[in-house]
C-alpha cells in the first residue's frame, strides 16, 4: 500500500483535497456549529449534568468521531435520543455525577465492541416501525419534560406523567419573563424561514434572540448562571461489580441508540452525497469519543444536530466535523463562557422543545390510519411504553412485537407460495397407461416456496402433513427453494418421519440446492430417503417414481385378483 492509498483510507476524502473542498467543509462546519452549540448546551441541561457537559461532549465526540471515525458529512456530538437516556441514568441509575459519567464510558466501550464485531451491516434489520415509534416517544417526552423550564420553573422527574401532575400547581407560579422569552424563541422559529435560514439556522437565532431579550428586556427570567470553565482533566471512575450490574443495561441502550442514529445518518448522508461512510469505523470512532466524553465530564452522543445543514452547505469530509469542534472549543475557552452564563433557561427549553417536535415524523404519524395494522401497532406501542413506562422497555417490547408482526407477514407470503396437490398417476405413467381409474393419484406433489423460514415452518408442515397423509408416494419439489433456516429444516424432517409412520412408503426429492442440502444433511434429516430417490428436477423425479408406481399398481391388482378368486369359490 503506497502513501496515497494509506492517506485516503486513514483520512477519507482528503486524498485529492483542494480549495473547493476546503471552502465547502468550512462553510458546512460553520453552519453546523451554529446548530450544534445551542443544541449541545440544551442537551447538557436536559441530561442533568449541566450545559458544560454538553459542550465537553461535543468537543470529545467531535474530535474522535472525525479523526478515528473518518466522518464524511456526519457531524458528531450530543443528540436528543442519547441525551434522554442519559437523563434517565442521572436520575434513576447513577448515585452521583461520577457514576453517570462512568456509564457514558461503559457505553463507549460497548459501542467500540459493536464496531469490532462489525455490527454496522445489521442496521437494515432494525424495523422502521420500531425506530419511528421510539422517535415519537422520545420527541413527546422531551417536549413534556421542557414545558416547566420554558415557564421559568424547575423541571420535575417522571416524564410525561410527572409533568402532567405538576401542571395544575405550576400555573400559579409561572415566571412571566420566562414565558415571554419562550414566546420570543417560538416567534423566531415562525419568522426565520425560507432564505433567512441560509444566513443562519433558526435554532441559533432562537439562542441569539432569546438571550438578547433576557439581557435587555426580560431580565427576570432564570438564567444558566455561573459556570466554571477549564481544561477538562480526565478522571477514571471506580468500577465495581455492583455498579456494573446496575448500569450495564442503560449503558447498552446508550450504545445501541447512538449506533442506530449513526448508521441511519450514514445512510442518509451517503444518499445525499454519493459518498460512502465506513459504518464499523464510525462505531469505533464514536465509541472512543463517548469514552473520552465521559472521562472529560461530557455527555455521550453520536450523529448530532447539524449533520444535514453541513451536507447541504457542502461539507464532505472530516474537516467540517473538526471545524465544528473548533467552534465549540472557541466557545469554551475564549471568554464566551461569560455570555453562556447569561442565557435564560427558557431559551434552552425552547430549543429542546423544537428539537423534540422535529425528530417526530409527523407525516408518518398522520398516516397511521392508512398504514398496515402491524406497522401501526409496533409504532404506537413503542411510543406508548417509552412515554409512560421506560425507554429500555419500549425498545425491547417494540422489537419483540415487531418480530412477531414480521413473522406473521412472512408466514402469509411463504405459505401462499406453497403448492400441495395430488399428482395423477397418468401424469407419471403417461396418457396411454393402462389404469383402472384415470383419476387415481397415489402420489402427492409438494412444491415448496423460494424460502422457508421459521415464520412459515409450522404452518407449512401442518398443511403438507394434512395433504400427504393419503398418498403412498410423495414428491418434494425443492427446485425453487434457495433458503431454508434450521428451524424449518427440523420441521421438514419431522414431517418426513411422521408421514412414513402414517403409511407413506416412498419420498422422492427433486431440485435440492447445495445450501439447502447442507443444512438438511448436517441435521441428518434425509437419512430415511434412499440415495436413488434424489433427482435434479421434477421430470427426472417422475422417472424415479414410475417403477415405484407400477409396482404399487401391480401389487394392488394382485391383491384384487386374489380376492376375486376367493369370492368365486363355493
- The 10s digit of each residue's pLDDT in 52-65 is 999 999 999 999 99
Beta strands in 216-317 (DSSP E): 302-303
pLDDT (average), residues 370-379: 92
- Are 484 and 517 within 8 A, CB to CB? no
User: Which residues on adjacent β-strands are paired with residue 35?
Assistant: none
For strands 76-77 and 302-303, give the pairing: antiparallel
pLDDT score, position 258? 94
Does residue 7 have a pLDDT over 50? no
Nearest to 11 by CA among 69, 59, 61: 69
CB 117: neighbour CB atoms within 10 A?
11
pLDDT score, position 532? 87
Dist. CA 407–CA 378, nearest whole Å: 13
Upper half-sphere CA count for residue 199 (Cβ side, 13 Å): 6
Against a cut of 0.75, is the pTM above it?
A: yes
Residue in this structure with the C-alpha cell 412485537, named with its chain if needed: 401
Residue in this structure with the C-alpha cell 445525499, named with its chain if needed: 272
- Higher pLDDT residue, 229 or 460? 460
Does residue 319 have a pLDDT over 60? yes
End-to-end Cα distance, the chain? 99
Dist. CA 204–CA 327, nearest whole Å: 13
Helix, strand or coil, per DSSP, at residue 522? helix
pLDDT score, position 294? 93
CB 195: neighbour CB atoms within 10 A?
6
pLDDT (average), residues 364-386: 92
Categorize the per-residue pLDDT at 3 as very low, low, confident or very high, splitting at 50, 70 and 90: very low
CB 175: neighbour CB atoms within 10 A?
20
Lowest mean pLDDT among 326-340, 420-434, 491-505: 491-505
Write the DSSP symbol of residue 71.
Answer: -
Dist. CA 379–CA 387, nearest whole Å: 12
pLDDT (average), residues 2-29: 70
pLDDT score, position 14? 63
- Are 85 and 250 within 8 A, CB to CB? yes
Domain map (residue ranges) of the chain: 23-361+373-406, 418-568
pLDDT (average), residues 70-83: 92
Dist. CA 331–CA 338, nearest whole Å: 10
C-alpha cell at 351: 430549543
- Which range has highest mean pLDDT (295-299, 395-399, 413-417)? 295-299
pLDDT score, position 12? 61
CB 547: neighbour CB atoms within 10 A?
9
pLDDT score, position 561? 63
Nearest to 324 by CA among 526, 80, 541, 332: 332
Q: For 497-550, how does the pLDDT look when each residue is reduced to its tens digit (9 = 90+)?
A: 777 776 667 888 999 888 888 888 888 888 888 888 899 898 898 888 888 888
Lowest mean pLDDT among 290-304, 324-338, 357-371, 423-437: 423-437
Q: Is 568 buried (19+), middle (13-18) or exposed (0-12) by CB count in 10 A?
A: exposed
Strand order in the sheet with 443-447: 419-423, 443-447, 473-477, 506-510, 534-535
Residue % of the chain over a pLDDT of 90: 37
C-alpha cell at 397: 417490547
Pick the CATH number of 418-568 from 3.30.750.24, 3.10.20.310, 3.30.930.10, 3.40.50.1110: 3.30.750.24
pLDDT score, position 13? 59
pLDDT score, position 244? 87
Lowest mean pLDDT among 1-15, 324-338, 402-416, 427-441: 1-15
Residue in this structure with the C-alpha cell 409450522, named with its chain if needed: 458
Q: For 119-145, how does the pLDDT look when each residue is reduced to its tens digit (9 = 90+)?
A: 887 766 778 888 899 999 999 999 988
Q: Is 517 buried (19+), middle (13-18) or exposed (0-12) by CB count in 10 A?
A: middle
Mean pLDDT across the chain: 85
Dist. CA 324–CA 313, nearest whole Å: 13
pLDDT score, position 6? 45
Write phi, then psi, for 482 (nearest 5 degrees).
Answer: -100, -15
- Are 237 and 101 within 8 A, CB to CB? yes
Categorize the per-residue pLDDT at 569 as very low, low, confident or very high, splitting at 50, 70 and 90: low
Q: For 28-38, how does the pLDDT look when each residue is reduced to its tens digit (9 = 90+)?
A: 999 999 999 99
- Are 443 and 450 within 8 A, CB to CB? no
Categorize the per-residue pLDDT at 438 as very low, low, confident or very high, splitting at 50, 70 and 90: confident
Categorize the per-residue pLDDT at 185 as very low, low, confident or very high, splitting at 50, 70 and 90: very high
Residue in this structure with the C-alpha cell 416547566, named with its chain if needed: 148
Residues constituting the chain: 570
Write phi, then psi, for 473 (nearest 5 degrees).
Answer: -130, 135
Amino acid at each position: 500500500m503506497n502513501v496515497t492509498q494509506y492517506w485516503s483510507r486513514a483520512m477519507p476524502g482528503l486524498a485529492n483535497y483542494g480549495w473547493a473542498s476546503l471552502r465547502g467543509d468550512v462553510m458546512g462546519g460553520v453552519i453546523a456549529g451554529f446548530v450544534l452549540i445551542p443544541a449541545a448546551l440544551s442537551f447538557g441541561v436536559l441530561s442533568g449534568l449541566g450545559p458544560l457537559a454538553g459542550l465537553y461532549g461535543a468537543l470529545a465526540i467531535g474530535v474522535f468521531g472525525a479523526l478515528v471515525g473518518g466522518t464524511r458529512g456526519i457531524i458528531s456530538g450530543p443528540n436528543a435520543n442519547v441525551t434522554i437516556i442519559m437523563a434517565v441514568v442521572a436520575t434513576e441509575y447513577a448515585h452521583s455525577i461520577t457514576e453517570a459519567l462512568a456509564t457514558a464510558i461503559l457505553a463507549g466501550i460497548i459501542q467500540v465492541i459493536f464496531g469490532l464485531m462489525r455490527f454496522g451491516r445489521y442496521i437494515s434489520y432494525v424495523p422502521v416501525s420500531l425506530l419511528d415509534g421510539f422517535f415519537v416517544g422520545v420527541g413527546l417526552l422531551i417536549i413534556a419534560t421542557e414545558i416547566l423550564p420554558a415557564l421559568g420553573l424547575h423541571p420535575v422527574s417522571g416524564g410525561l406523567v410527572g409533568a402532567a401532575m405538576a401542571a395544575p400547581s405550576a400555573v400559579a407560579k409561572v415566571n412571566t419573563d420566562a414565558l415571554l422569552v419562550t414566546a420570543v424563541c417560538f416567534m423566531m422559529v415562525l419568522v426565520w424561514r425560507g432564505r433567512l435560514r441560509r444566513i443562519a439556522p433558526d435554532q441559533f437565532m432562537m439562542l441569539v434572540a432569546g438571550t438578547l431579550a433576557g439581557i435587555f428586556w426580560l431580565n427576570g427570567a432564570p438564567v444558566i448562571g455561573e459556570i466554571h470553565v477549564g481544561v477538562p482533566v480526565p478522571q477514571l471512575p471506580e468500577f465495581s461489580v455492583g455498579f456494573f450490574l446496575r448500569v450495564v443495561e442503560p449503558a447498552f441502550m446508550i450504545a445501541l441508540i447512538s449506533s442506530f442514529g449513526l448508521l441511519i445518518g450514514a445512510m442518509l448522508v451517503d444518499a445525499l452525497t454519493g459518498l460512502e461512510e465506513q459504518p464499523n469505523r464510525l462505531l469505533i470512532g464514536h465509541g472512543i469519543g463517548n469514552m473520552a466524553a465521559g472521562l472529560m465530564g461530557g455527555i455521550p452522543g453520536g450523529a448530532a444536530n447539524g449533520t444535514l445543514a453541513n451536507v447541504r452547505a457542502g461539507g464532505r469530509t472530516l474537516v467540517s466535523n473538526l471545524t465544528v469542534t473548533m467552534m465549540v472549543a472557541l466557545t469554551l475557552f475564549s471568554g464566551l463562557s461569560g455570555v453562556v452564563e447569561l442565557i435564560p433557561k427558557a431559551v434552552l427549553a425552547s430549543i429542546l422543545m423544537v428539537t423534540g417536535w422535529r425528530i417526530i415524523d409527523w407525516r408518518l404519524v398522520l398516516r397511521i390510519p392508512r398504514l398496515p395494522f402491524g406497522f401501526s401497532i409496533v409504532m404506537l406501542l413503542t411510543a406508548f411504553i417509552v412515554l409512560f413506562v421506560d425507554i429500555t422497555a419500549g425498545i425491547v417490547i417494540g422489537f419483540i412485537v415487531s418480530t412477531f408482526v414480521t413473522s406473521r407477514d412472512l408466514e402469509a407470503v411463504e405459505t401462499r407460495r406453497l403448492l400441495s396437490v395430488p399428482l395423477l398417476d397418468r401424469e407419471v405413467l403417461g396418457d396411454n397407461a393402462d389404469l383402472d381409474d384415470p383419476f387415481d393419484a397415489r402420489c402427492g406433489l409438494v412444491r415448496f416456496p423460494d424460502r422457508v423460514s421459521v415464520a412459515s415452518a409450522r404452518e407449512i408442515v401442518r398443511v403438507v402433513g394434512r395433504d400427504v397423509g393419503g398418498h403412498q408416494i410423495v414428491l418434494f419439489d425443492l427446485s425453487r427453494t434457495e433458503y431454508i433456516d434450521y428451524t424449518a429444516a427440523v420441521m421438514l424432517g419431522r414431517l418426513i418421519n411422521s408421514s412414513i409412520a402414517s403409511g407413506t412408503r416412498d419420498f422422492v426429492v427433486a431440485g435440492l440446492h447445495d445450501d439447502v442440502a447442507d443444512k438438511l444433511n448436517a441435521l441428518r434429516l434425509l437419512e430415511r430417503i434412499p440415495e436413488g430417490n434424489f433427482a435434479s428436477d421434477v421430470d427426472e423425479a417422475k422417472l424415479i417414481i414410475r417403477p415405484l408406481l407400477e409396482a404399487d399398481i401391480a401389487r394392488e391388482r394382485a391383491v384384487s385378483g386374489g380376492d376375486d378368486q376367493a369370492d368365486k369359490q363355493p
